[in-house]
Amino acid sequence: MNKIFVYSLQKSNILKYFLIPLFTICFYFSQAQNNSAEIYLNLKKLNVLGSVLYIGAHPDDENNTLLPYLAKEKLYRTAYLSLTRGDGGQNLIGDEQGIELGMIRTQELLAARNIDGSEQYFTNAYEFGFSKSSNESLQLWNKEQLLAEVVWVIRKYQPDVIINRFPPDKRAGHGHHATAAIIAEEAFTAAADATKFSEQFKHGVQPWQAKRIVWNTFNFGNTNTTSDTQLKLEIGNYNALLGKSYGEIGGIARTMHKSQGEGRPQRKGSITEYFAPIKGDSATNDFMENINTTWSRIKGAEKIQQEINAAIASFNFENPSLTVPKLVSIYNDLQQLNQANNWVQLKTNAIQKLILQCSSIFIETTTNTEFAVQGEKLNINFFINNRSANNVILKKIYLATNSVEPFDTTCNIVLTKNANQSFSKDFLIPSNAAISQPYWLEKPIQGNMFLTKDYATLGNAENEAAYTAQFIINIEGTDFIVKTPVQYKFVHPVRGEIYEPLTVMPPVTVALSSKVILNNVVENNKTINHQSLQVQYTSYINANNIPVEVELYQGSTVIYKNTQIVNLKNSETYPLQIPLKKIYLSNAGNAITASVSLNINNKKEVYTLNLKNINYDHIPNLHYFFRDTTKVINEKINTKVLKVGYIAGAGDKVVEAIEQLGCNVTLLSEKDINIATLQKFDAIVTGIRAYNIHEYLTDKNNVLNEYIKNGGNLIVQYIKANTIGSKNIIAGPYSFTVNARSRVTEENAAVKFLLPQHEVLNYPNKITNKDFENWVQERSTYQAEKLDKNFECILGMNDTGEPETNSSLIIAKYGKGNFVYCGLTLFRQLPAGIAGSYKLLANMIALSKH
C-alpha cells in the first residue's frame, strides 16, 4: 500500500501528522471555471461514449475545425496524436530552434486543445527537418519504435475511429506526413494483435481493435484529394451554447500556433469535410456508423443514461448547483460498475469535475516563487472556497509527493457559502529532489528519437506537476479527492493574475557565455581578436565564505581550474572571464564544458547544468536543464572588419556570428531605413523571414536599392513566402520569387561551384568543399526561382534522385554594390559551429570591399 503524509489544520490550529493510504480515485482540478453553457454541454457529453483519434506528423497538421466539431458538437472524446513536437521547423516569434522550438510548439498544441476540447499525445520522434519521402523518414527514425509507440497510444486511448490527416504517398507533401499515414495504418492492425508489442500488456493495456480507420481528404493548393463519392460531413455548424461556429472556434485554435505564423480567420458558413475509407468496417453516412456510443455498451450501466438525462432535463442555467445531488447519485452508481473499464474511469472523472463546477468550488495550491530549490524551503499556500449553498466539508489536505517532507492534516471544516479558507506552510525540498526536466529530454536524442522507455509518461504531452496537493472534500455526503498542482501565482501589472508551473532546480546553475568562439579570425594576416571564455554561475541560495571551484573540461580532461572564497547571494550571478590563452586546449576537438563545486560544511557538491528559460505570453513559462558547451574553432577565418546593420527577422543567432567575425553590428528598425542612416554601413543583413514580418522592407525597397547602388551590400536571408498579407513582397533591384518546395534537405548533399572564380567564393576566404562538411539538418531552404537575368547563381546542389538546383545563393551587381539572396541555412550552421558557414558569411559581407 502506498502511503503519504497529509497536512490538516484543525479549527484549533493544532497540526497533526500521520500516515494515510493513497487514494486511487481522484482527478486534477483546474483554475478554469466553466460557465453554465459549457457545464451544460459537458453534462450532455456524459451520455456519449464514443472516441476518435486524429493522427498527423507535426503540430499544426491537425484539422482545427474538425476537432472542435467532434468534441463539442458530436460530443465524442477526441484527441490528436502528433508524431513529433515540431522541433525541426522554423520559428516566427524568436530564435529558439531544435528542442526549444519543440517545447514551444508542444504548448501551442496544448493551448489549441484547450480551445477545441480535445486531448493531445505525442511519440518520441524528433522532427529532424523537412523530408521529401517516407523512405527517408523511416530510415532516419526507428520505425519499429515509432510503430510501437503509436500502438501504445491506441491501446491506452482505445479509439472507436482513427482518422489520418494525410495519405501514405507523395500527395502528403512531406515525408513525415506520409510516414504518419503509413504508421497509423499499420498500428490500426497491430494494436489488435496480441503478438505485437506484448510487453505493453504488463503496463495496463490490452489489444484494441478500432472499428475503422479513415483518411480526412483535403483540397490544399493544387492538390485536391476530395471526391463526391467520399463520406461527407458538414461541420460549419453554429453552436448557440458556445456562441460560435466550429469554423470560428477552429480559427481561434489555429491561431495558437504563433511560432509558425498560423494566425487564421474565424470562418463562418458551410464547411464540408471528406473522408475516404482505409481499413475496417465501411461507413456510408457517418464514420461512427454501427458503433454503440451509449451507456448500453457497458454491462449494467443502462440506468446511468436515464439518470444523466434527468439531470440534463432539470439543469438550471442560473443555479447549476441544484444539479449537484443528482450528479453525486450518478457518481455513486458508477462505483458499482467495473472500475477497470476505460469508459467508467473517464466518466467518473468527468462527473467529479462537473460536481465541482456545478458547486462553484474553487481550489488552488500556490507559491510566491517560480522555483523550488533543492535543499531550500518552499512556502506553499492552500486555498478553497465553496461559492454555492451545497453541503461541502473540507475533510483533509495533504501533499502527495515522494520528494517533499510528508505533510498531513485533518480539517473537518464546513465550508460556508463564499467563505475563503486559506493557510500556508513551509516545506523543505530535499537536496536529492528530482529537477523539473521535460521527460523526453532526460536522455540524449539517439537516431532522431527521444529515449523515453517509461510507459507512465510515454505519449503524454508534458510532465505532471512537480508537486501535487490533494484535497479530500465531502459534497452532499460523498467523499471526493481533488488533486491540485502546486503552481507559481503572481499578479502581472499588465496581464493581471498569472499561474505558471513550479520548477524544481539545483542551488547553482552553470552557463558558458558563447556557444561558439572563433579563435583565429584574421584580417590582412593579422589576428584581430583575442578571445576569452566567460563562465557564469548563478546562486539560488545564501551562503557565506564558501570555497567555490570552477573547472573547465574538454571531454574528461581538466583544462582550467580556479578556486575562490565567495559570499553567495540568492539570484546573483558570478562571472569569471578566462582568456583562451590561459586554457590548455587539447587536440581532441571536444567542446568545452564547465562545472562549479561548492564546499559547504565539508560536503562537496558539483553542479554542471544550465537553466534555459523560454517566456512567451501565449504559453506557460518553459524551463529545461542542459550541460552548456562552447565549441572553439581554431581554423583560420579571414575577415574584413566592417560596419554591419542588421534588421531582425523571425529570430536567429546571426548577429552574434557577425560580431565573432570582428564586425561592428547595429540593429536597425523601420525609422533607420533612409539613405542618411544606411550609408553608414558597409553591409545590411536581414534576418530570416524579415520580409515576411516587416512590410516596410517592401515599402522601402527603393531606398534599399539606392543604398546598394551607392556601394552597399544587402544580404537577404531566406524569405518564406512571396507575400506579406495581401501585398507582394519586393526585395532588391531585380525580380525573383521563392519556392517553398525548392530546398535541399540532405545536409551532406554534394555542392558544385558553378562560378568558382566568383568573389564570394574567394575573398577574403577561399571556399572549398571542406567548408560544406558536417552541416546540420539541411543545406538550403526556400530557394529562389524565376530569376532576372542579372542574377548569378553561385552553387549547385540537389537531394538524391532529384535534378540539380542552382538558386540557394544568388547575387546581382547593382551600381557599386551587391544584392544577395541566401537560401543556405546559415542560421542553423553558425550556432552549430560550422567553420565554413562563418567563411561564407564573411565573404558575403565583404563583397566589393577590397
d(CA 464, CA 723): 42
Q: Contact 742/725 with Cβ under 8 angstroms?
A: no
Supply the pLDDT for residue 29.
52
Supply the pLDDT for residue 18.
24
d(CA 413, CA 10): 8
Cell triple for 755: 562560378
Instruction: State the average pLDDT over residues 128-153.
Output: 95
Supply the pLDDT for residue 13.
30
- At 4-16, the pLDDT tens digits run 222 232 222 322 2
Instruction: State the average pLDDT over residues 431-452.
Output: 94
Is residue 317 predicted with pLDDT exceeding 50?
yes
Is residue 163 predicted with pLDDT exceeding 50?
yes
Instruction: State the average pLDDT over residues 233-244.
Output: 96
Is residue 155 predicted with pLDDT exceeding 90?
yes
Instruction: State the average pLDDT over residues 645-671.
Output: 95
Give the pLDDT band of residue 1 (cuts 50, 70, 90). very low
- The mean pLDDT value of the chain amounts to 92
Lowest mean pLDDT among 36-50, 159-173, 420-434, 663-677: 420-434
Supply the pLDDT for residue 8.
30
Is residue 52 predicted with pLDDT exceeding 70?
yes
Supply the pLDDT for residue 546.
95
Query: Is pLDDT larger for residue 29 or for residue 547?
Result: 547
Percent of the chain at pLDDT above 90? 87
Give the pLDDT band of residue 581 (cuts 50, 70, 90). confident
Give the pLDDT band of residue 741 (cuts 50, 70, 90). confident
Give the pLDDT band of residue 587 (cuts 50, 70, 90). low
Give the pLDDT band of residue 580 (cuts 50, 70, 90). confident
Instruction: State the average pLDDT over residues 384-396.
Output: 94
Is residue 21 predicted with pLDDT exceeding 50?
no
Give the pLDDT band of residue 458 (cuts 50, 70, 90). very high
Give the pLDDT band of residue 210 (cuts 50, 70, 90). very high
Supply the pLDDT for residue 23.
28
Is residue 597 predicted with pLDDT exceeding 90?
yes
Instruction: State the average pLDDT over residues 558-586.
Output: 91
E strands, 608-694, are 609-614, 622-627, 631-633, 637-638, 643-647, 664-667, 683-686
The per-residue b/e assignment along 290-307, b for 16 or more CB within 10 angstroms, e otherwise, is ebebebeebeebeebbeb
At 737, give phi and psi (nearest 5°). Answer: -125, 170
Is residue 24 predicted with pLDDT exceeding 50?
no
Three-state secondary structure of 689-747: CHHHHCHHHHHCHHHHHHHHHCCCEEEEECCCCCEECCEECCCCCCCCEEECCCCECCC
Is the C-alpha dihedral spanning 832, 835, 840, 845 positive or negative? Answer: positive
Is residue 725 predicted with pLDDT exceeding 90?
no
- At 88-115, the pLDDT tens digits run 998 999 999 999 999 999 999 999 999 9
Give the pLDDT band of residue 387 (cuts 50, 70, 90). very high
Is residue 575 predicted with pLDDT exceeding 70?
yes
Give the pLDDT band of residue 528 (cuts 50, 70, 90). confident
